[in-house]
Amino acid sequence: MESKKMIDEYVSNVVKTTNMSEEWQRLVLRQPVVLSGYVVATFKKHFFAKDWERVFLELRCTTLVFHSKEMGQKEELFSFPLEFSQVEYSVKNRTVTCFYSDKMSFTIKPEADKYKCWRESILSAAELQAVSMKDFEVLKVIGKGATGAVYLAIEKATGAKVAIKVMEKSRMSNEKALKRLINERLTLELVGQNPFFVKLHSAFQSEENLYIVTEYCSGGDLEKYMRERNYHLSSKQLKQIVAETVVALEDLHQNGIVYRDLKPENILLDSKGHVKLADFGLSKFIGVDPILTQSFCGTLGYLAPEVVEGKRYGFNVDKYSLGCLLFMLIVGRTPYYAKNREKYFKSVTSGRLFFPEEVSADAQSLIRSLMEVDGAKRMSFGEMKEHPFFSGVSWEAVYSRNQGFLRDVRDVHRERQMSCDSLASLERSRGTASRPRKEGFWDGSLSKVMGSMFHGEKKLPKNPTIPGFLFSSASMEAFSRDGSVVSTVSTD
C-alpha cells in the first residue's frame, strides 16, 4: 500500500498533471529548447476542463513545459512528457491535442503562421524511436548487485564501449528498490556533462528489465586499484584523487544532491586515472537550500555520527565520508572497525581518532576537520582547498583534468570473454529471464513513471554548451525534418 501511495504521489507531483517539483523542474529546464512561444491552451482532466488561456510554451527535447502566471502570483511550471502520449491535430481548427489517457489531455492553438511548426515538432517528439539492446553488442559481465548486473558492451553505431546496468523488475518489487532506482536515474541527469561523474548515455526498458547505459570507465574502481597496489600511492597521486573527489562532491551539493555513499568502490577511474563518481542509488535531492533528511543509509566504515544516531542531516555527511576515504587511502582500512555493530557505532559517535605513523600531520589535520562529530563544524569546500594538505595542488589543473596522474591505469576489462547479439540470449543462458514478476506492482501508474524515465532516451550531438539531458542525433534529425524546425527556435 505504501508503495502504491508513493508511486501515485510521484506521478502526480513529477510527471505531468501538477506543478513541477523543484527536482523535476531542474532536470527538465536543463534540456535544450527546440521551440518556444506563446500559444492558447486548454486542459482537460476527468470531467474538468480549464478555459482557454494564453501561456508561454516550450518544447524541450521531448517534454512540453507550460509557464503559467496569474496576476500577483509566482510563475508555475507544468510539464508534459510526449514519449508516451497520443497526438491528434486538426488543420481546420488549427489545434494540436495530446492525450495521456481517455481522462486527461491538453490542446494548444498556436497562431496561424506558426501552427505547422508546432504541429510537426510535437509529432516528431512523440514519435522518437527508443534505444534498445539491439543497439549494443554485449561482451561480458563486469559487476553484480542485488537487483541485477552490469555488462560491458559496444554501441554498434559508434564502436564505443559502454556499461549497461540491467535491473530485473522481478527483484525490484518494493518501495526501497524503486526509490533507489529513481534517485540514481534522476541524479545521473542532474549532473549532466560534468566530467567528474559517469555520463548517462541512455535509459530504457523491456518487459523483464530496466536498463541504464553509462560511459565505460576502463580503469575500474578505486578500491580494486588500491588493493592491487597494496594501498600505496605517492603523495601527488593521493592529493590528486582526493582533490578531484572534493570537486565532485562540491558540484553535487551545488546541485542540491547529498551523495550518502562515498567509498572507493563507487569511485571509478577513466583511462587517464581521473576520478568519476558512480552509483547514485543512495543519493537524494534535498535542494540548494537543503531540507534535512533522516534515512539510515550508507556503508559501514563511512557513516557519519548523525546518521548513526538517527538525527536529521544534510550535505555534511559527505564531508565526513571524505575524511574516512582519505584515511582509507593512506592506511588501507577505515578509521573505525569492530565485529560488533554496537561497538562500531559507539566508536563513531565518540569522535576519538587514532592515526598510524604513516599518516602525515597535514593529513591528520584534514581528516580531523572533516570527521568532526558535530557536522556544523566540518570545514567548507573553500576551506578544504586552502588546507596545507593540498599544498602544491593546482585547483585550476584539477578542474581542467588535462593531465593524467595515475600512469599505470589499464583497461581492467580489456579481455573479450563473451559475445552475443542481445542481452536476451545472455539472460537465457544464465537462467534469469524466466524469474516470476510480482503481480500488479509494475502495472498502472508505475508503468507510466517508468515509461517516462526509461522509455529509451537518445543522445544529442556532442555540444559542450548543452549540459542536461542526453538524446541521440536521431532526435535532432527528426526535429529538423522538412526544414520546419532547427535545434533552437523562438516563435515569439
> Is the domain of 168 the same as that of 41?
no
Contact present, 335 and 348 (Cβ < 8 Å): no
What is the helix (H) or strand (E) element at residue 415, kind and residue range?
none
Annotated catalytic, 113?
A: no
Which residue in 363, 459, 422, 397 sits closest to 158, CA to CA? 459
> Is the domain of 245 the same as that of 382?
yes
User: Which residues have a Cβ under 8 Å from the Cβ of 339 and sit 6 or more positions away?
Assistant: none
Which residue in 39, 35, 36, 55 sits closest to 111, CA to CA? 39
User: Is residue 240 pLDDT above 50, yes or no?
Assistant: yes
> Is the domain of 453 the same as that of 482?
no
- pLDDT tens-place string over residues 336-387: 987 788 899 999 999 999 999 999 999 999 999 999 999 999 999 999 999 9
Mean pLDDT of 412-432: 48
> Is the domain of 175 the same as that of 100?
no
List binding-site positions.
Answer: 165
What is the helix (H) or strand (E) element at residue 258, kind and residue range?
strand 257-258
Helices 235-254 & 316-331 angle (0-180, nearest 10): 160
- Give me the pLDDT at residue 421, please: 44
Tell me, yes or no, if the pTM score tops 0.75: no
> Is the domain of 43 the same as that of 72?
yes
- Give me the pLDDT at residue 105, please: 82
Mean pLDDT of 108-127: 88
The C-alpha R_g of the chain, in whole angstroms, comes to 24
Give the confidence band of 405 by pLDDT, cuts at 50, 70, 90.
low
> Is the domain of 374 the same as that of 231?
yes
> Is the domain of 122 the same as that of 184?
no
Contact present, 263 and 275 (Cβ < 8 Å): no
User: Is residue 16 pLDDT above 50, yes or no?
Assistant: no
- Of 135, 221, 251, 261, the active-site residue reads 261
CATH number of the domain to which 342 belongs: 1.10.510.10
**Quick check: helix, strand or coil at residue 219?**
coil
CATH number of the domain to which 479 belongs: 2.30.29.30
Please calculate the CA angle 415-420-422 and round it to the nearest 5 degrees: 130
- Give me the pLDDT at residue 358, please: 92
> Is the domain of 240 the same as that of 341?
yes
Q: Which three cell numbers stand for residue 23?
A: 527536482
The boundaries of the domain holding residue 479 are 2-128+475-490
End-to-end CA distance of the chain: 47
The tally of domains found in the chain comes to: 3
Contact present, 279 and 261 (Cβ < 8 Å): yes
In a domain, 111, yes or no: yes
- Cα 311 to Cα 88, 281, 373: the distances in Å are 52, 21, 12
Contact present, 281 and 261 (Cβ < 8 Å): yes
